[in-house]
Amino acid sequence: MDIEELLKKVKKGEMSIKEALDLLSELPFKDVGFAKIDFHRRLRRGVPEAIYSPGKTKEQIKEIVKEMVNKEKIFITKADDAIYEELKYFPNCRYYKDCKMVIIGKKEEKKGGGYILVACAGSSDLSIAEEAAVTAEELGNEVKRIYDVGVAGIHRLINYADEIRKASVVIAIAGMDGILPTIISNFTPAPIIAVPTSIGYGTGLNGVAALMAMLNSCSPGIVVVNIDNGFGAGVAAHLIMEKLREK
């Protein structure tokens, strides 16, 4: 018996209110309403459906996509050419090769409210930086990139001082010593999301050194996501932007 039927019985007097209350407390999880709530949650949270590719066959990914394709926008992260080949026949499918992301569903219009600045120190970190930037753009945010290709040091940041200062949110990406977010915090009052990358060697421990430096930054107010998690940083920045747009 579903809720509608129950209500009808109450209405008709075929079921007492006490009986109805009892029944309702018994069917917490089967309730259609629940599924709806969950559906709401996802829409409200503004977090896209993401499929993490490693460990899945391209066939499995295709099957998952099939099930979701008409209901939601889908991000397939850490994908590769073969996966794209499998999925490219879906409508509105595109492949961001630089950051190994396949996206299915319409790109959202720019919603305004300022921009997210994505900065990385070296071109080795470019793939993760693009993952963050593309994620944010696809969710309707304006993104500015400072990738500093071709320079050794951090001094080039100075040329971008204005853009850094005016950003609504900054995503700062770095491997090795993970120093970039701390340096950038000198240029801006914006919230800073730090992304450690697995670039480096030896005691870099595939990004653990950068992660630890970021978590222990002497500049308070820097927050951190998992190593190489450009997607997560993009989503976090987007959630802040959504709050700004609410105002």
Site for its own copies, residues 189 to 208, rule: CB under 8 A: 189-193, 196, 198-208
* Interface pick for its own copies out of 11, 70, 91, 109 (rule CB under 8 A): 11
* Interface pick for its own copies out of 76, 118, 126, 143 (rule CB under 8 A): 126
Residues 214, 92: Cα–Cα separation, whole Å = 37
Contact 193, 237 (CB under 8 A): yes
CA 153 to chain centre: 28
42 lines the binding site for its own copies (CB under 8 A):
yes
Q: Are strands 192-196 and 222-224 parallel, antiparallel or unpaired?
A: parallel
68 lines the binding site for its own copies (CB under 8 A):
yes
Contact 224, 170 (CB under 8 A): no
Q: Considering the complex, state which of residue 119 and residue 236 has its C-beta at the smaller distance from its own copies.
A: 236
Residues 87, 90: Cα–Cα separation, whole Å = 6
The 155-184 contact track toward its own copies, x by CB under 8 A, reads x--xx-xx--x--xx-----xxxxx--x--
Q: How far is the CB of 20 from its own copies (least distance, A)?
A: 5
92 lines the binding site for its own copies (CB under 8 A):
no
70 lines the binding site for its own copies (CB under 8 A):
no
Binding part of the chain for its own copies, among 81-89, 99-107, 150-158 by CB under 8 A, reads 150-158
**If you write DSSP's letter for every residue of 231-245 in order, what string do you get?**
HHHHHHHHHHHHHHH
Binding part of the chain for its own copies, among 79-87, 88-96, 100-108, 187-195 by CB under 8 A, reads 187-195
In the chain, DSSP finds a helix count (H) and a strand count (E) of 10, 9
Site for its own copies, residues 221 to 240, rule: CB under 8 A: 221-229, 231-233, 235-236, 238-240
52 lines the binding site for its own copies (CB under 8 A):
yes
C-alpha to C-alpha distances, 54 to 81, 83, 173, nearest whole angstrom: 13, 11, 22
Sequence-ordered list of residues with C-beta below 8 angstroms from that of 213, at least 6 positions apart, any chain = 177, 178, 179, 182, 196
Sequence-ordered list of residues with C-beta below 8 angstroms from that of 167, at least 6 positions apart, any chain = 114, 115, 116, 117, 144, 188, 190
Binding part of the chain for its own copies, among 34-42, 87-95, 100-108 by CB under 8 A, reads 34-42
* Interface pick for its own copies out of 34, 81, 88, 108 (rule CB under 8 A): 34
The 3-state DSSP class for residue 51 equals: strand
Q: How far is the CB of 134 from its own copies (least distance, A)?
A: 14
| Count of beta carbons in the 10 Å neighbourhood of residue 55 | 7
58 lines the binding site for its own copies (CB under 8 A):
no
Q: How far is the CB of 240 from its own copies (least distance, A)?
A: 5
28 lines the binding site for its own copies (CB under 8 A):
yes
